[in-house]
């Protein structure tokens, strides 16, 4: 009887666990497939918008990591090419020295490799022979020393080339990983867009038109002037980009990501900026937001994963996220990390 009661208790416990797991699975499925019929429509719309904003942040972070990996790959490719060229030149010098030494060895063989003391005794002009022998000894020593240096340099170059190749392989693998992550985020964005498309047309239009802070319409920038000539050129360029699409990893002129837009705009002013928003943050001197001038770079979030250009009257121009065009938004659309004056 005791044994029977234990089995009954164990079976009851398993049954409870199965019921709990099944309930959790059902809840998760409901969350993934859509909101319950009793959900507040306004809450559903707000949840959808929050999810899309979250996905946009993930996309921007992935893009900046992708850009950084691409820049590092380009750098190491150049280093690898230079190392390989230097190794090839060193090998040519070594080959030339080997040929010279081979010729010398052949000459010695043809003369029978006579012992120097015997050659001196048999020589008709001992003084001349000694001078020639000393010169040959010095030449041989110089050649041996040069060959040793070249071999040492060749070993160093081969090591450098191997290290650079390994680093390049690692970075290529890293870039592949970032690309794979980017594709995953793009898939999430497509899902988010489908979710938005399921909302009423007025909600979709509101989301597509408004910024993260909810501003609508064009800002008043009358009377605003940049603080320097190059800033003026960059601001003029960034205005030309208004309406261009956000494109992954692009830096113009037909599409941009956030840091690509800043790089392109300042390139029109003759200024070379780094490729990523994290690096652009340190491309000039930092100033307080209260002292921002047109042309300053406004960097967002603690990880500096987004950047825009301040254009005056508390407005920035930036490439917001996939699916949105380059546009104006309030400078306070999201947490400001720093302001950099180029």
pLDDT at 124: 57
Cα 129 to Cα 112: distance, rounded to the nearest angstrom: 16
pLDDT at 1: 42
Structural contact between residues 329 and 308, judged by C-beta atoms closer than 8 angstroms:
yes
H-type alpha helices, 111-125: 116-122
Residues forming the active site: 258, 306, 318
pLDDT at 158: 75
Structural contact between residues 294 and 224, judged by C-beta atoms closer than 8 angstroms:
yes
Question: Which residue carries 């042309």 as its tokens?
Answer: 295
Return the closest-CA partner of residue 333 out of 289, 294, 293, 271. Answer: 289
pLDDT at 290: 95
pLDDT at 16: 36
How many C-beta atoms lie closer than 10 Å to residue 232's C-beta?
15
Mean pLDDT, 10 residues at a time, over the chain (342 residues)?
40 37 36 47 73 80 85 80 76 70 59 52 57 62 64 72 77 77 75 76 67 55 75 96 92 96 98 97 97 96 96 95 89 96 96
- The pairs formed by 69-72 with CB atoms below 8 angstroms and a separation of 24 or more are 69/171, 69/174, 69/175, 69/178, 70/175, 70/249, 70/275, 71/274, 71/275, 71/276, 72/171
Q: How, if at all, do strands 285-287 and 306-312 pair?
A: unpaired
H-type alpha helices, the chain: 2-33, 41-110, 116-122, 126-197, 201-209, 229-240, 258-267, 277-280
């Amino acid at each position: 009887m005791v044994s029977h009661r234990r089995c009954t208790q164990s079976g009851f416990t398993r049954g409870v666990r199965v019921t709990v797991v099944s309930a959790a699975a059902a809840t998760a499925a409901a969350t993934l497939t859509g909101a319950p019929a009793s959900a507040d429509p306004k809450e559903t719309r707000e949840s959808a918008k929050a999810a899309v904003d979250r996905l946009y942040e993930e996309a921007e972070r992935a893009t900046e990591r992708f850009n950084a990996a691409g820049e590092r790959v380009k750098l190491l490719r150049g280093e690898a090419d230079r190392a390989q060229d230097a190794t090839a030149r060193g090998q040519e010098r070594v080959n030339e020295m080997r040929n010279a030494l081979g010729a010398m060895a052949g000459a010695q063989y043809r003369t029978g490799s006579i012992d120097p003391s015997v050659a001196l005794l048999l020589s008709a002009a001992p003084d001349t022979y000694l001078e020639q022998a000393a010169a040959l000894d010095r030449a041989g020593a110089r050649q041996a020393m040069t060959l040793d240096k070249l071999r040492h340099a060749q070993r160093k170059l081969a090591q450098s080339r191997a290290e650079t190749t390994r680093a390049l392989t690692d970075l290529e693998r890293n870039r592949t990983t970032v690309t794979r992550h980017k594709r995953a985020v793009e898939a999430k964005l497509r899902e988010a867009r489908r979710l938005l498309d399921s909302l009423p047309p007025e909600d979709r239009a509101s989301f597509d038109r408004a910024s993260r802070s909810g501003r609508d319409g064009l800002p008043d920038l009358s009377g605003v002037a940049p603080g320097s000539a190059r800033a003026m050129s960059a601001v003029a360029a960034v205005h030309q980009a208004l309406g261009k699409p956000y494109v992954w990893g692009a830096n113009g002129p037909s599409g941009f990501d956030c840091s690509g837009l800043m790089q392109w705009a300042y390139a029109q002013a003759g200024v070379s900026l780094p490729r990523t928003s994290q690096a652009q943050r340190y491309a000039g001197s930092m100033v307080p937001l209260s002292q921002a001038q047109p042309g300053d770079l406004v960097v967002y979030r603690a990880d500096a994963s987004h950047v825009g250009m301040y254009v005056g009257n508390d407005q920035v121009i930036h490439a917001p996220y996939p699916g949105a065009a380059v546009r104006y938004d309030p400078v306070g659309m999201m947490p400001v990390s720093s302001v950099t004056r180029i």
